[in-house]
Structure 1
Amino acid sequence: MHTFHAVNPATERPLSGEFPEHGAKEVDLAAMAASEVAKAFRQTTPAQRSSLLHAIADALESARDTIVARAELESALPNARLNGELSRTTAQLRLFADVAVGGLWQEAIFDSANPDRQPLPKPDIRRHNIALGPVAVFGASNFPLAFSTAGGDTASALAAGCPVIVKGHPAHPGTSEIVAQCIAKALEQEQLPQAIFTLLQGTSHELGQAVVTHPSIKAVGFTGSIHGGRALFDLAQQRPEPIPFFGELGASNPVFILPQRMDNQAESLAEEYLMSMNMGCGQFCTKPAVVFITQGDASERFLQAMREGIKAQTGQTMLTSGIKSNYLTQSQRRAQQSGLTQTQSSPESGVPSILFETTSEIWRNNPQWQEEIFGPQSIVVVCQESEEMISLSQSLAGSLTATIHADADDYPLAKRLLPELEEVAGRIVFNGWPTGVEVSYAMVHGGPYPASTMPASTSVGAEAIKRWLRPVAYQSVPDALLPCSLQQDNPLNVRCSVDGK
Structure 2
Amino acid sequence: MVKPDTFQAINAFTGEPIIGSFPIQGKDDVDAACMHAHKIAREYRYTSSEQRAQLLDTIAEKLLLRTDEIAARAHLETALPLARLNGEMGRTANQLRLFASVLRQGHWHRAIVDTPDPQRQPLAKPDIRQQHIALGPVAVFGASNFPLAFSTAGGDTASALAAGCPVIVKGHSAHPGTSELVAQCIQQALSECELPQAVFTLLQGNKRELGTSLVSHPLVQAVGFTGSVSGGRALFDLAQQRPIPIPFYGELGAINPTFIFPNALNDYQSLAEQFVQSMTLGCGQFCTKPGVVFVVDDANSSAFIETAQHLISQHNGHVLLTPSIRDAYCQHTQLRAKDAGLLHSRNQNISEGVASTLFVTDSQAWRNNPQWEEEIFGPQSMIVLCRDIDDMQALSEQLAGSLTATIHADSKDYPQVTRLLARLEEMAGRIVFNGWPTGVEVSYAMIHGGPYPASTHAASTSVGASAIERWLRPVAYQSLPEALLPPALSSSNPLSVPTLVDGKTWMVKG
Q: What's the TM-score bracket when you normalise by the shorter of the two chains?
A: over 0.9
What is the aligned partner in structure 1 of residue 185 from structure 2?
182
Instruction: State whether structure 2 residue 442 is matched by structure 1 residue 434.
Output: no
> CA–CA distance in 1 between the matches of 2:83 and 2:154?
18
Instruction: State whether structure 2 residue 412 is matched by structure 1 residue 404.
Output: no
Shift of 1:337: 1.1
Q: Which amino acid aligns with 2:305?
A: L
What is the aligned partner in structure 1 of residue 341 from structure 2?
339
Instruction: State whether structure 2 residue 101 is matched by structure 1 residue 98.
Output: yes
* Structure 1 length-normalised TM: 0.99
1:115 to 95, 107, 118: 118
Q: Which amino acid aligns with 1:467?
A: R
What is the aligned partner in structure 1 of residue 381 from structure 2?
378
Q: Which amino acid aligns with 1:355?
A: L
> CA–CA distance in 1 between the matches of 2:72 and 2:407?
39
Q: Which amino acid aligns with 1:388?
A: D
> CA–CA distance in 2 between the matches of 1:113 and 1:345?
72
1:141 to 127, 140, 144: 144
Q: How does 1:482-493 map to 2 (within 5 A)?
A: 482-493=485-496
Q: Which amino acid aligns with 2:286?
A: F
Instruction: State whether structure 2 residue 473 is matched by structure 1 residue 473.
Output: no
2:362 to 359, 364, 373: 359
What is the aligned partner in structure 2 of residue 42 from structure 1?
45
1:89 to 89, 92, 95: 92
Secondary structure of the residue that 1:14 maps to in structure 2?
A: coil
What is the aligned partner in structure 2 of residue 17 from structure 1?
20
2:10 to 7, 26, 39: 7
Shift of 1:473: 0.3
2:332 to 330, 334, 340: 330
What is the aligned partner in structure 1 of residue 507 from structure 2?
none
1:317 to 295, 316, 319: 319
What is the aligned partner in structure 2 of residue 349 from structure 1?
352
> CA–CA distance in 1 between the matches of 2:64 and 2:345?
43
Instruction: State whether structure 2 residue 304 is matched by structure 1 residue 302.
Output: yes
Q: Which amino acid aligns with 1:245?
A: F
What is the aligned partner in structure 1 of residue 217 from structure 2?
214
Shift of 1:348: 3.2
Shift of 1:493: 0.5
Secondary structure of the residue that 1:117 maps to in structure 2?
A: coil
What is the aligned partner in structure 2 of residue 267 from structure 1?
269
Shift of 1:100: 1.1
What is the aligned partner in structure 2 of residue 414 from structure 1?
417
Shift of 1:468: 0.1
- 1:78-122 CA deviation, whole Å, 9 max, x = no partner? 110000000000000000011111111111011110000111111
- 1:474-500 CA deviation, whole Å, 9 max, x = no partner? 000011111111000111111111100
Secondary structure of the residue that 2:295 maps to in structure 1?
A: strand
Instruction: State whether structure 2 residue 155 is matched by structure 1 residue 152.
Output: yes
Q: What is the root-mean-square deviation in Å for CA atoms of aligned residues?
A: 0.7
Shift of 1:210: 0.3
What is the aligned partner in structure 1 of residue 508 from structure 2?
none
Secondary structure of the residue that 2:75 maps to in structure 1?
A: helix
Which is worse superposed, 152-161 or 62-71?
Answer: 62-71
Shift of 1:384: 1.1
Which is worse superposed, 62-71 or 225-234?
Answer: 62-71
Q: Which amino acid aligns with 2:335?
A: R
**How many equivalent residue pairs?**
500
Q: Which runs of 5+ in 2 are unaligned?
A: 505-510
* Structure 2 length-normalised TM: 0.97
Among all aligned residue pairs of Structure 1 and Structure 2, give the percentage whose two residues are the same amino acid. 62
Q: Which amino acid aligns with 1:231?
A: A
Shift of 1:472: 0.2
Shift of 1:188: 0.3
Secondary structure of the residue that 1:246 maps to in structure 2?
A: strand
Secondary structure of the residue that 1:445 maps to in structure 2?
A: coil
> CA–CA distance in 1 between the matches of 2:407 and 2:40?
48
Instruction: State whether structure 2 residue 200 is matched by structure 1 residue 197.
Output: yes
Shift of 1:61: 1.1
Secondary structure of the residue that 2:384 maps to in structure 1?
A: strand
- 1:260-301 CA deviation, whole Å, 9 max, x = no partner? 001x21010000000000001100000000000001111111
Secondary structure of the residue that 2:459 maps to in structure 1?
A: coil
- After the TM superposition, list the runs of 4 or more consecutive aligned residues in structure 1 that deviate by more than 2 angstroms: none
Secondary structure of the residue that 1:404 maps to in structure 2?
A: strand
- 1:330-350 CA deviation, whole Å, 9 max, x = no partner? 111111111111111234321
Q: Which amino acid aligns with 2:36?
A: A
